[in-house]
Amino acid sequence: MLILNFTKFPVLETERLILREHALSDAENIFKMRTNEAVMKYIDRERPKDLTDVKTFITTFNEGFENGDNLAWVIALKENPNQMIGSVGYWRTDYANHRAEIGYMLHPDYWRKGIISEALKRTIDFGFNNMNLHTIKANINVENDASRQILIKHGFVKEAHFKQDYYFRGKFLDSEIYGLLNPKH
C-alpha cells in the first residue's frame, strides 16, 4: 500500500539540511524564488503575482499533505532552519500505480554545492522505504540540462520524450520523462 497520510508531517534531516513543512512565514522567500527568472527558466508555470498567491499556494500544499495527495518539503540549512532556500517534494501522486512525481528547486545563491543531491538522496529513500512508492517520475523541460544531469546522477533513466504535449504561454513544449524503480521491489 502506498502511504501518504502520515499523522505527523515527516521532518527529515541530512548532514547539512533540514527538510520541513511549509509555513506561511516562508511566503516571502518562496515569492523571491518563484519570481527569480534563473530559477524559473525551465519551470513552465505562471509566476506568483504577489504574496497572497504564494500564501494560497502554501495552504494548498499543506492541505495536500493533510489529504494525502502530495508531500512537499522546504529545504533549509540546519544552522538557519527558518530560512527557506529551496523545496523538494512529491506531487501528481498516482495511487493505483504507486507512482509519484518528484520536483525540486533551489535559490541560485546555493547552486552547485550538492544541496539538491543531498535532499534528493534523503527524499528518494523516504519515497521508497516510508511511502512505499514503486516508481518515481520526473518531468523536465528538454532544455533543462542541470535537472537532467542531477536525475541521471541519482540513477533515473529516460523513459519518454513527449512531443509538444504541454501548452505554456502560447507554445506547445516537449517534455522529457525520467523514472527510477524501487530497488527493493
Question: For binding to ligand COA (CB under 6 A), which residues are involved?
Answer: 39, 42-43, 104-106, 111-117, 140, 144-147, 149-150, 153
Q: What is the nearest approach in angstroms of ligand COA to the Cβ of residue 64?
A: 18
Q: Which of 92, 72, 76 is nearest to 84 (CA)?
A: 76
Nearer to ligand COA, 67 or 149 (CB): 149
CA distance 61 to 89: 10
Amino acid identity at 56 = T
Nearer to ligand COA, 136 or 140 (CB): 140
Between strands 171-181 and 17-20, the pairing is unpaired
CA distance 101 to 105: 14
Q: Which of 16, 14, 50 is nearest to 32 (CA)?
A: 50
Nearer to ligand COA, 58 or 105 (CB): 105
Nearer to ligand COA, 28 or 145 (CB): 145
Q: What is the nearest approach in angstroms of ligand COA to the Cβ of residue 176?
A: 9
Name residue, grid cell 527558466: 41
Q: What is the nearest approach in angstroms of ligand COA to the Cβ of residue 1?
A: 28
Nearer to ligand COA, 110 or 126 (CB): 110
Q: What is the nearest approach in angstroms of ligand COA to the Cβ of residue 52?
A: 23
**Residue 161: strand pairing partners:** 176
Q: What is the nearest approach in angstroms of ligand COA to the Cβ of residue 5?
A: 26
Cell numbers representing residue 48 in the block: 506568483
Cell numbers representing residue 44 in the block: 513552465
